[in-house]
Amino acid sequence: MFLGRVVGRVVYTVKDASLTGQRLLIVQPLKPDLTNTGKQLVMLDAVGAGAGELIAEGVLAIEMCALAADVGMTIHPHPTLSETMMESAEIFYGQATDIYRPKR
């Protein structure tokens, strides 16, 4: 676990539909004695059903220094909310099978 203090909010006029119900916050990382350390980060504050599932997977990917390819190649149970992490990685590499692509 990392300590941090919310020092601001990201202001936006348009937000991606997948971020509905979520806030973008600016967080200052802290040492155990509550003094500032490192650069400020933009964090996603997610609430609602399944938020913990997505946060846990995102944190695990960060801790492992995983690339999008690593997340995409990981087995995810279907249907679950965590499966959206895998699908996001597949979209990043243009390999998504669950998205309709009209013929050109």
For residue 66, the model assigns a pLDDT of 82
Paired tokens of 92: 């990043």
Paired tokens of 68: 């999008």
Q: Is 35 left (phi over 0), alpha (psi -120 to 50) or beta?
A: beta
For residue 19, the model assigns a pLDDT of 67
Active-site residue, selected from the candidate residues 17, 21, 62, 78: 78
- The amino acid sitting at 98 is D
For this structure, is 78 an active site residue?
A: yes
Cα 19 to Cα 34, 48, 84, 88, distances in angstroms: 30, 12, 13, 13
Q: How many domains does the chain have?
A: 1
The domain of 7 spans: 1-47
| 2, part of any domain | yes
| 55, part of any domain | no
For residue 18, the model assigns a pLDDT of 66
Report the C-alpha gap between 71 and 37 in whole angstroms: 29
**pLDDT, averaged in runs of 10, over the chain (104 residues):** 86 71 85 91 76 75 81 75 76 76 72
| 17, part of any domain | yes
| 54, part of any domain | no
For residue 7, the model assigns a pLDDT of 93
| 79, part of any domain | no
> Is 59 strand, coil or helix?
helix
| 7, part of any domain | yes
Report the C-alpha gap between 37 and 44 in whole angstroms: 20
